[in-house]
Every structure is written in C-alpha cells, then in structure tokens.
Amino acid sequence: MKTKKGIIGILTGGGDVPGLNPAIRAVTVRAIHEGYKVIGIRRGWAGLIEMRRDKEADNSDHCQVLTEELVNRVGRTGGTFLHTSRTRPSHVPDVNIPVHLRDRYGAPMNDLTEEVLKNLEFLAIDYLVPIGGDDTLSYGVHLHQKGVKVIAIPKTMDNDVPGTDYCIGYSTCVTRTIEMTQALRTTAGSHERFLIIEVFGRYAGFTALLPTMAGAANRCVIPEFKFPLERLAELLTEDRNENPSRYSVALVSEGAMFVGGEMSFASAEADMYGHRKLGGIGDLIAEKVKDLSPRYNQGRRVNVISQRLSYLVRGGDPDAVDSIVPMAYGNIALDLVLEGRSGRMVCLRKGEYDDVPIDIVTSVKKAVDIDKYYDRGRLRPLYKSFSRKPFFILEGD
C-alpha cells in the first residue's frame, strides 16, 4: 500500500565495498522521516527479475520493507545486508533465467527488462536508488531511458565511475592497501626481497597510484600505461640498493599490462557485463622481475614476495570517509526525490557535493590522466603542485 508520499526502492549491485550499509541507512532514515516507504531489493538487479508478481507469493528472498530500526543496526557495518550480484537484466544467459520465466525466455541470451519494469510497477516503486559501479549504474541509465525515475549513487573501490571524484569504498581500499603494504614490509626487509603487491583496478589505476603517492610503495604500474618489464626490474633494483634494509616495493593494478603482454585473467568465464575475472598479473610480474634482476644486480638474482590483496580490502567495516560520504550521498538522493528530479547521479567534485546527469556513466570513461599524474619513465606518481587539487588529489574527468 502506498504511503502519503510514495515508495522508494534501493539496491546494491556489483562487488561489495565498505560503505554500502551506511548509504542504505542514510537513504532509508531520511526517506522514512519524509513520509516515504522504503523497499530494499535483494541481490542487486537479480531481485527484480527473480520475484513473482503474485500477492500470495513469498518474495521475502527478493525484497523487504526497510525500517529505521533495521538500518540503524547494520548501518555501521561493512558489506551490504541487502546482498549483491553482477546481474544484468538486459543480458541474462539461459542458465540464469528464473524457473517461473523459463517458458517465456529460452534464448542463449535474454533481455528481461520487461520483467523488471513490470516488477517495479507491481511493487509500486516511485523512485529507484541503485548503488553501484559503472556496470550496475549503466543498467540504471537504461531504466531511466525507459521512463523509470532513477537516482544513482556511485560506489566502487576502483573509483572509476565517471562524473564524480569519489566513489563509496575507495577510501577504505586505499587505507587498507597502505596498512597491508606497510605490514608486509617487515618480511620483505627481513629477506631483502622485492615486494610485489597486486591491488584492484581493472581499467583505472587510482588504487595503485594514490597509495604509492602516500609513500606505501616505490613504484606502481597501472592499466593506463603499458610498461617495459626491464625498466621495472631496473628501478626496483635501484630502490633496493638505496634502502638500508635492502628491499623495494611495487604496487600492481590487476589490469596492468607490460610491453608484449596482455591482461591476466583468473578465469575464462565472463560475467553478464562481459568481464572476465582478473588476477595473476602480480605473480607474473614477480617472476619476470626476478628473472631480470641479475642484469641490474651484478649478476645476482633478487627473490620476490608476491601478494594479491584482493578481497582483504573489501571486507570489514568502513573507514571514516566511507561512513561520512555515504551519509551525504544518501541525503542528497532524498533531496533530489523531494525536488521531483530524476535521472541524476549524486557526486563529489572538487570537494563539493553535487549531482550530475546519470547518463554520464555511459557517455565517458574515467581513468588516470597519465600526463598529469604518472611519470612513465620512473613508473611512479608525478609530484606536482597540490594546490587547489581535490581531497583525493587525482581527478579522472
């Protein structure tokens, strides 16, 4: 039943990050106080294709009414209590078609957008608030073009959603990367080795570049620049020889590529957005620089410690920034609802909260401007004037 104001739906899609639950809490508490009912869609876009349009059906596994008591209880924790998936309703393979829809959809790849639209109508949702990265939000753009009132909130550890300087999860990722790199230094120093650490970043190198800029590593390699392995081996050897503890550190984006190589995949299987799971470039680079090290170390090989941080930076509670920004983003989303505006994405640009057209998500790509921020010859950040730079320094647009 509709309330006086209406119903707001909220979902989280793609990879989990710390800060999702605070965002859900912010949207829900403000919406309830403004007179709205809030429905949480479970498992991202999957909940909107798996539910049944039957008032007698049990859809509790696909959606739930959110209360202030519930979101206050989980609002300070990591992950997403609504759960998530990498579902793309416009591209659902036959093996993922819900049982009750298999008589209508039997192609190898199926567009279930019609089901999503009917289910939104069945739930009487007036505004939809998806929280996700560029993949999740790209489908939000699709629904917006179909007439759905969408207010998007950007999140991703890679910080590569266009139109915003900040995505939920980025600060915690950077914080954990710095902490874990510092912890691994003791082992690298004890054994006088190279330390190669693989971090997130499929197409953008923000999560490798900013920790390196903060002093976590000597060098970093990022997806935006295909680097020569020989140069990395030479520089790491140079750094090691200058270090009294005889070790050096490089951060490697999971999407980084060296000259003569390609992206390294952990699996041949692709998700519904066409992305294969990345992983292993750090180990590959570690072996390569170990083999190359005698050229630059008087004929002696330098052994390597290789560590993939992966889900270690996803788990756990959000840091301060990923508690504050989601709170602000959620409230801005409700401001837009109250103003009767839709087709917008909340954002943070040059230190100020704002909103931009949601279709920016699909109109441009966000990546590190290597002319401004990356020293190709030294494989490290460029240190120039920080005056009037945004809080997290690196702009992508």
pLDDT digits 0-9 by tens, 160-174: 999 999 999 999 999
Sign of the dihedral defined by the CA atoms of residues 174, 175, 176, 182, in that order: positive
Contacts with 190 (C-beta within 8 Å, 6 or more apart), sequence order: none
Catalytic residue positions? 158
Q: Report pLDDT for 267.
A: 67
Between the two ends of the chain, the Cα-to-Cα distance in Å is 43
pTM score of the predicted model: 0.94
For residue 267 the two structure tokens come to 């699996």
For residue 56 the two structure tokens come to 């007698």
pLDDT exceeds cutoff 60 at 2:
no
For residue 312 the two structure tokens come to 């270690």
Do the two domains 6-168+318-363 and 171-313+370-381 of this chain adopt the same fold? yes
Contacts with 246 (C-beta within 8 Å, 6 or more apart), sequence order: 189, 192, 240
Q: Are 29 and 21 a contacting pair, CB within 8 Å?
A: no
Domain 6-168+318-363: assigned CATH number: 3.40.50.450
* pLDDT tens, position by position, 27-56: 999 999 999 999 999 999 999 999 999 999
* pLDDT tens, position by position, 125-143: 999 999 999 999 999 999 9
Q: Report pLDDT for 272.
A: 75
Percentage of the chain modeled with pLDDT above 70: 97
pLDDT exceeds cutoff 90 at 266:
no
Sign of the dihedral defined by the CA atoms of residues 103, 269, 48, 164, in that order: negative
Q: What is the mean pLDDT of residues 277-295?
A: 92
Q: What is the mean pLDDT of residues 276-305?
A: 93
Fold of 171-313+370-381: Rossmann fold (3.40.50)
Cα(217)–Cα(181) distance, rounded to whole angstroms? 8
* pLDDT tens, position by position, 219-229: 999 999 999 99
* Mean pLDDT (the chain, rounded): 94
Q: How confident is the model at residue 397 (pLDDT cuts 50, 70, 90)?
A: low
- The domains of the chain are located at 6-168+318-363, 171-313+370-381
* pLDDT tens, position by position, 75-116: 989 999 999 999 999 999 999 999 999 999 999 999 999 999
* Residue 153 β-bridge partners: 131
pLDDT exceeds cutoff 80 at 159:
yes
One-letter amino acid at 261 equals: G
Q: Report pLDDT for 396.
A: 66
Q: Are 45 and 136 a contacting pair, CB within 8 Å?
A: yes
Contacts with 69 (C-beta within 8 Å, 6 or more apart), sequence order: none
Q: How confident is the model at residue 4 (pLDDT cuts 50, 70, 90)?
A: low
Cα(302)–Cα(240) distance, rounded to whole angstroms? 10
pLDDT exceeds cutoff 80 at 264:
no
Q: Tell me which of 103-107, 118-122, 300-304, 390-394 is least confident.
A: 390-394
Cα(171)–Cα(175) distance, rounded to whole angstroms? 6
pLDDT exceeds cutoff 90 at 245:
yes
Q: Report pLDDT for 383.
A: 76
Counted residue by residue, the chain has a size of: 397
